[in-house]
Structure 1
């Protein structure tokens, strides 16, 4: 705990230094009447890719931390405890989606539009109204979760869900602060806060789960599992609380800069708060509906799965929950790691696209969509192939419980396909929201949800696929979202994807990479019998081979590499290796 506290303080000091350095830049931009707060890369027209890279790296770090702590946590609370946690967490997620999850994206879009028009005072008023919104809505959602836990989840997960209740309220406030800084096209505060949140989540989850389980060590296994799941929920809430405190401190450090921005705003029209609140509701509501439907598949599918297997197939609750814990607590957790990159790019692309679109620059808007799509697919496709090719060693490393290892690996292999589809549909959702077509993702998500639900019910009733039926339903849903959103973007912007560079070259390079990485792993594991070393070497050589193939097949250019985080360094390394 002491080491983590020192690390968090060091990270905070780093962020303060960044802010102080930006204040100097801001004073310069005030004199030229071209001022934007906390713009880390003002000179770069496409800085949103670098900002997305910063957020993506933070997302990957968070997912890795999540994976690393889930392994010992699962060892402590078991698959049964993991199942109770997953059931409560899914309901918590749904309520969070409705109350505040979409706040960062919605706020960043609205404020970014005002900043593009240099309406700085109106942007600040939107920020204040957003706080009022989440206090009211988040507070009501927290109360509903706590007092309604008994009707929302099965008996063994009630206590776990109640622990999640206050986290919903704090998450709303945290989301407003993150959205505020994202609107100014800096992802640094958000990225740091996410890492801090995940570190605290990991430490407290393991510690609280262990201590709570010790208090009921003489009880039956189910009671012990429930207490372990409750401890994990406490860790989630603690992480959110510490992240909120950090973001609040960053905002307070920037108060002087914020006031300077308001002073230079000479815009004659200042919107009344009543008008802003109405506008905010009209903007946030479609975001919420879209995000809710888009992400509710997990909870809906879990409910359908449990009801059919328990009520119609006669399986007991403990068995069904334990099996679901393998699916949601292991396979899905691993598959979600690369999807974090798409989420990061989506968060960065919304304010950037919103700014270009509101100024009527369709050429720039399409260029940003194209660049974001290429970047996302360049990472998502090899990640999906890699997860499929190395599913067994990955699960063996992260979740070594022998009784469920091969089942989790098989599910991961199937779910790897969704990495591409979910990444692309997440990005396309953000594009449609950024250009103001906020209702279209709602409709697309709803239609996709209806179709996948019908398939899932049929699969569960007529086959014994069970967990694999859930995996197939995820593939169907994410694929449909890609198709529907792609059609909508083409109609709205006239955007046509470069199929060769976006999909064919990355896929070809990835398939070769996957085959080579798989052979390297098997050869090394046969020789040295070390799963971790064999997997690490296979991934390293696979990644190098992939980038070589992408460059040789002209799937990525020197200019595109320069646009990536640390692009200049990557180019220098590639030149020394004579790859470029």
Structure 2
């Protein structure tokens, strides 16, 4: 019976991982045509308010649902689950309504703090999604708690798809109807609400029977039960939300400090907006760089939980090592590739090579975030939530403290360096508190040293290969040729050296999609060379 439930859980985790992968790709890719249509200033307008949406999205998808699913799984019968869900809905309803009211009334002050009062209607528009957050969070939490991941997966992909369509249509209409960038941004932000409505509709029917179950007692409201649940949602659920919002919270700090710092550095208002838009190009690139490593590593997380539940210490150690190795290895490869190919990628995707230095620095955050996520997965499976929460708070404080000063003195390069420093503080704090198993997995001679050497060779090889590509970035065609050649050389070098120097164990290769075929190919090549 337990094995059957674990198999069901593993299948559900795979479904949710695939849906999350699709949603992340959609969320990253749409920004490229969007920026091409609306330009740097239009992109700046959208990205200034995007972190507020990102925080709401975290609450509704990967923060509160995860914690509510844990609470649902703890209940022994459907009536207790219903009581829990109703109380959660009431508490999150109050929370969502409070955020909505706050954003509606404080939008002018928030826009003023971002040094751009014209952002007010965008903030007011994005606030509407918080009215849908309670229903989305509670229903998704319920289905995940009973190991039915399909409704969450379908609603997640549909929500992102509708939002992306609304954003791109708004960008297209702004060109046709000659809207201002702020009018365009307001309509683009409405995609968050329309996407949430579609997700609500998808979840409504399967959730209807749950919310119509009769409660066991219709007497007085149990204020003590509400108080206890509110405390758990705030402390334990809040810590999950905080970690899931890491990247978005750093972007929120940028929204309040980068444009302001650029103006203080001596740039005009319009040039500061343009520069912030260039800096924001780094966000979809970081998301794309993380997608592959997160998709591969997320398939290992259920195995980690399974080994912990069964108290299989050796198995737990092997899975934890594989999780850390795959996450860091693939993200380091993506980081190296994006850094060395940045001029070509920047021109190919965005039509010019502006802000290359800032974007190169920004790419370093890919490997750091991937390792933070891997370490967090290990710590969460050991029920050590507080360690990552404390580390994140310290990192955010560092970002707030140094960001504007760095931007004022080094412009958008300073903003990128501020992000890398704050993430480095988070990682160092987590590693210092992590169990021995994590530090062993990162052994300098056994893994990290090899990885650094492979990335150095990869960097050099791609640099040499680029000498055979068109040297002038005068067209997107030249940029595409350089990018294609660099990617091909980089993948061959990283894959070949990783196999030759045994960066990953056989078990780790078999975990990765296509790993089995690579091992077979490697054996054939070795057999022919003997």
* Matching of residues 561-572 of structure 1 within 5 Å: 561-565=509-513, 567-568=515-516, 571=519
CA shift for structure 1 position 106: 2.7
- Number of residue equivalences: 508
* Matching of residues 222-261 of structure 1 within 5 Å: 224-247=180-203, 251=206
The reply to whether residue 368 of structure 1 matches residue 319 of structure 2 is yes
Q: Output the CA distance in 2 between the equivalents of 1:353 and 1:211.
A: 48
Tell me what 1:62 maps to. 26
Q: Deviations over 1:226-257 (max 9, x none)?
A: 112123212343334334444556x56999xx
Where does structure 1 lack aligned partners over 5 or more consecutive residues? 1-31, 218-222, 260-271
* Matching of residues 166-177 of structure 1 within 5 Å: 166-177=128-139
Tell me what 1:466 maps to. 411
Alpha carbons of 1:295 and 1:244: their partners in 2 closer, same or farther (altered >3 Å)? Answer: same
Alpha carbons of 1:97 and 1:53: their partners in 2 closer, same or farther (altered >3 Å)? Answer: closer
The reply to whether residue 512 of structure 1 matches residue 465 of structure 2 is no
CA shift for structure 1 position 282: 4.0
CA shift for structure 1 position 326: 1.2
CA shift for structure 1 position 348: 6.2
Q: Output the CA distance in 2 between the equivalents of 1:537 and 1:178.
A: 43
Tell me what 2:358 maps to. 411
Q: Output the CA distance in 1 between the equivalents of 2:338 and 2:158.
A: 27
Alignment check: 8 A CA contact 1:79 1:326 kept = yes
Choose the corresponding residue for 1:296, options 239, 244, 249: 249
Please tell me the root mean square deviation across aligned C-alpha atoms, in Å: 4.0
Secondary structure of the equivalent of 1:525?
coil
Secondary structure of the equivalent of 1:148?
helix
CA shift for structure 1 position 536: 2.6
Tell me what 2:273 maps to. 321
Q: Deviations over 1:375-397 (max 9, x none)?
A: 20121100000000111111111
Secondary structure of the equivalent of 1:556?
coil
Choose the corresponding residue for 1:385, options 299, 322, 336: 336
* Matching of residues 147-546 of structure 1 within 5 Å: 147-153=105-111, 154-180=116-142, 193-212=155-174, 214-215=176-177, 217=178, 224-247=180-203, 251=206, 279-291=232-244, 295-310=248-263, 312-313=264-265, 315-328=267-280, 330-341=281-292, 353=304, 357=308, 362-400=313-351, 402=352, 405-407=353-355, 409-461=356-408, 463=409, 465-490=410-435, 496-499=440-443, 500-525=445-470, 530-546=478-494
Q: Deviations over 1:393-432 (max 9, x none)?
A: 11111111x3xx332x322211111111111123323433
Q: Output the CA distance in 1 between the equivalents of 2:509 and 2:279.
A: 36
Alpha carbons of 1:397 and 1:313: their partners in 2 closer, same or farther (altered >3 Å)? Answer: closer
Q: Output the CA distance in 2 between the equivalents of 1:183 and 1:571.
A: 38
Q: Output the CA distance in 2 between the equivalents of 1:474 and 1:438.
A: 23
TM-score (norm 2): 0.81
Tell me what 1:558 maps to. 506
Where does structure 2 lack aligned partners over 5 or more consecutive residues? 214-224
Q: Output the CA distance in 1 between the equivalents of 2:522 and 2:33.
A: 38
Choose the corresponding residue for 2:51, options 73, 78, 90: 90
Greater displacement, 379-388 / 352-361: 352-361
Secondary structure of the equivalent of 1:393?
helix
CA shift for structure 1 position 200: 2.8
Q: Output the CA distance in 1 between the equivalents of 2:33 and 2:517.
A: 36
Q: Output the CA distance in 2 between the equivalents of 1:185 and 1:458.
A: 48
CA shift for structure 1 position 53: 6.2
Choose the corresponding residue for 1:548, options 476, 496, 502: 496
Choose the corresponding residue for 2:5, options 26, 33, 36: 36
CA shift for structure 1 position 41: 4.7
CA shift for structure 1 position 559: 2.3
Alpha carbons of 1:537 and 1:357: their partners in 2 closer, same or farther (altered >3 Å)? Answer: same
Q: Output the CA distance in 2 between the equivalents of 1:86 and 1:413.
A: 19
Tell me what 2:42 maps to. 81
TM-score (norm 1): 0.74
The reply to whether residue 143 of structure 1 matches residue 104 of structure 2 is no
Alignment check: 8 A CA contact 1:88 1:158 kept = no
Alignment check: 8 A CA contact 2:258 2:407 kept = yes
Alignment check: 8 A CA contact 2:16 2:153 kept = no
Alpha carbons of 1:247 and 1:348: their partners in 2 closer, same or farther (altered >3 Å)? Answer: farther
Greater displacement, 165-174 / 349-358: 349-358
Alpha carbons of 1:326 and 1:363: their partners in 2 closer, same or farther (altered >3 Å)? Answer: same
